Amino acid sequence: MRNTILVAGSANLDFVVRAEHVPAPGETVLGRDFSTFPGGKGANQAVACARAGGAATQMLLALGNDAFAAPLEISLREAGVALHIVRAASLPTGTAFVCLSDSAENAITVAPGANEALRAEHLPALTDIACLLLQLETPITTVAAYAAAARAAGVKVVLNAAPARDLPATLLAHLDVLIVNEGELAAIVGPCASIAQALERLDVPCVIVTLGARGVCARSHGHYHWQCAYPVAAVDTTGAGDTFCGAFTAALCAGLALPQALARASAAGALACTRLGAQASIPTAAEVEAFLARHADSADAADARRQLAAYCGIPIDPTAT
């Protein structure tokens, strides 16, 4: 039986400055604390998969021959991720520059560097792979080639379409699951009257839209599912979306039903918001279990789901999940 997740994507060293607020265009803000953290959407999601448990995790990534590569390798290996490293000798390791505000919001600029070196021929054998998790911080032609190869090999393909960009129809055709936020959804389908209308335009078996503090809406094979956000005191939202994607993919690979997978992924993402850093904030499976036990459905859960469905423009069936 296939029981391994392969994450193919980016790894960046994050340079993080804390400030009162994120600067507006042309504005200079005096920051305070400065730290570096291992990051990159692909690497964050690989760590989230590994810490979620239930399946072995591998990652295909490209790094430079520089000092920035070492903390990324260490973080991934310590999380239990097996690595397939492409060494891009002529390019620096990817970096990201993050301004983190006191309200936990952030502004991020990425310098891809070695991430641009990933090519179709670098994909390892998929013999033991059950799920392939992709993002868009590497060349989109490479992402499309990986998705096509995985589909041909009978591997489930999950794409987190971030950062936002147009997606070719050939890539969408090879997906089993598409995960986006509201902005990324709009970038793919264009202006729509509602989230529901946008979802109906996508011919992907399962599409999941993360809605920040509101929660998550999913459309799977024509049926809608909702997961309200868990209330937490947010400290840093960097990496929360990546944590959701990794935890969801791990749950999917472990055979959990969609509502349970959404709940676990939402809990993991909520916990990540309560800590600084991207990979440093990602919770373990035991932490997620304890969190879920403390946040069992309350009496007003049905009403919260109705409000979330209304925001998405979906008439809700009281019996819907």
* Residues tagged active-site: 242
Q: From the CB of residue 130, how many other CB atoms can be counted at a distance below 10 Å?
A: 21
Distance of alpha carbon 143 from its chain centroid, rounded? 15
Nearest to 94 by CA among 109, 108, 74, 114: 114
Laid out side by side, the sheet with 223-228 consists of 81-87, 56-63, 4-8, 129-134, 156-160, 177-181, 206-210, 215-220, 223-228
Laid out side by side, the sheet with 12-19 consists of 34-39, 12-19, 94-101, 106-111
**Dist CA 311 CA 176 (whole Å):** 25
Residue with tokens 């891809």: 112
